[in-house]
Structure 1
Amino acid sequence: MTTGSVSPRRADTRRNNERILAAALESLASGDELSFNAIARKAGVGVGTVYRHFPTPEALVLAVYRREVRHLVEVVPELLAEHAPEAAFRIWTSHLASYMMTKRGLADALSAATAGAYEDLAARTYDAMLGAVTTLLEANVRAGTARAGLDPRTVLLCLAGLMHLDPTGDWQRQTENFTDLLWHGLRG
């Protein structure tokens, strides 16, 4: 007899879930149609496994989106452990820009999948991203590389400018220029 509402998933179930999400992200990012059969082939699982994990295309799109946001947020402590705070901020901004440039198909699918529930998802994403930016700013203030008193909401709003980079152009260089300009404002 088990206690609690859900037993832990087996390792192979977790691996299948991750492979399905990675295959779905690849399809969405490249603008391919979200076909459970194609995703199953890419993930190396049966189509029934895809349906067991994600009963609808909307559920799959939302899971991919949540995974990507989680990766953006969870990388912050790793970056701060491995790099000086300023470098961590710059690398994270580059990760964020890369996410925005390569996941445009995900944005379109997300809009279709979240009809009616977008505000809740957007609020949770905003809170998670605000936490990541706050952590990076606080580390930089402690290191003396950013001025105190910065509002993380304002910095996050500025980072939203990355959405306007041209994914077909030299967005990496544009990201570096954007980050340099933002950094000058953060240093004050």
Structure 2
Amino acid sequence: MRQDARENRERILAAAEQVFGTHGEAGSTEEVARLAGVGIATVFRHFPAKETLIEATLVRHFTGLLDRTRAAAAAPDPTAALTALIRDLIKHGATKLTLASMLGAAPPPAVVAAAGQVKAGVDAVLRRAQATGEIRQDVGVDELYLLIRALTQTTTVSPAPPAVLDRAIDVILAGFATGKGAGR
């Protein structure tokens, strides 16, 4: 793919994440094209159907999450990295939920694979933090994901002031802590 075509594709995907992540089904490919600074024909040249655009946008979103998860896994302070990752997943989860809801009940294999990689990465960050003794050993990635999803879905439907959301996240983090310095 030519460099300008790659750049157009990236701008389209970034615009689609913003448009569909904010407006859901009400978002339009025309708005994506406008925001990306390209013509609608360019959007459809890259993504022949709205569904393929949404799928690619969600995969891109998961790729970004995976990059942040990998950075957290390599961070010098595992517990602080887990804390920051949990906050990030909750605060930016609305876009993921909105995009995923647009794909229907059976997400495409590329989305399932990308989501699985992120979950495995989160699990690695969790296990690394547990190895410090600051995070409870009886908490698994499934419990963590359930709480992240619950808070994300709740605040997507009924937005909370940032200070309230931060305190709610603090409560979740305190529940994971052993009392040896976690939940920073």
Amino acid at match of 2:11: R
Whether 1:13 and 2:5 are equivalent positions in the alignment is yes
CA–CA distance in structure 2, aligned partners of residues 147 and 176 of structure 1:
15
2:52 aligns with one of 59, 62, 80: 59
1:36-51 alignment runs, 5 A limit: 36-51=29-44
- State the 1:179 CA deviation: 2.3
Q: Please tell me whether the aligned partners of residues 21 and 63 of structure 1 are also in contact (alpha carbons under 8 angstroms).
A: yes
Amino acid at match of 1:91: A
The equivalent residue for 2:172 is: 178
CA–CA distance in structure 1, aligned partners of residues 66 and 124 of structure 2:
10
Whether 1:109 and 2:102 are equivalent positions in the alignment is yes
1:160-171 alignment runs, 5 A limit: 160-167=149-156, 168-169=159-160, 170-171=164-165
- State the 1:36 CA deviation: 2.1
Deviations 1:136-166 (A, max 9, x none): 0232234343355754334334433333432
The equivalent residue for 2:64 is: 71
CA separation of 1:184/1:146 partners in 2, compared to 1, >3 Å: closer, same or farther?
A: closer
Q: Please tell me whether the aligned partners of residues 141 and 148 of structure 1 are also in contact (alpha carbons under 8 angstroms).
A: yes
Whether 1:132 and 2:121 are equivalent positions in the alignment is yes
Identity %: 27
The equivalent residue for 2:134 is: 145
RMSD: 2.9
Amino acid at match of 1:173: R
CA–CA distance in structure 1, aligned partners of residues 18 and 40 of structure 2:
17
* Structure 1: gaps (5+ residues): 1-8
Amino acid at match of 2:88: H
* Structure 2: gaps (5+ residues): none
Q: Please tell me whether the aligned partners of residues 28 and 103 of structure 1 are also in contact (alpha carbons under 8 angstroms).
A: no
CA–CA distance in structure 1, aligned partners of residues 147 and 70 of structure 2:
22
May I ask how many residue pairs the two structures share in their alignment?
175
CA separation of 1:164/1:40 partners in 2, compared to 1, >3 Å: closer, same or farther?
A: closer
- State the 1:93 CA deviation: 0.6
Deviations 1:37-60 (A, max 9, x none): 221111011222111111100001
The equivalent residue for 2:145 is: 156
Deviations 1:115-136 (A, max 9, x none): x633746743552233112210
CA separation of 1:64/1:40 partners in 2, compared to 1, >3 Å: closer, same or farther?
A: same
The equivalent residue for 2:23 is: 31
TM-score of the aligned structures, taking structure 2 as reference length: 0.77
Amino acid at match of 1:40: A
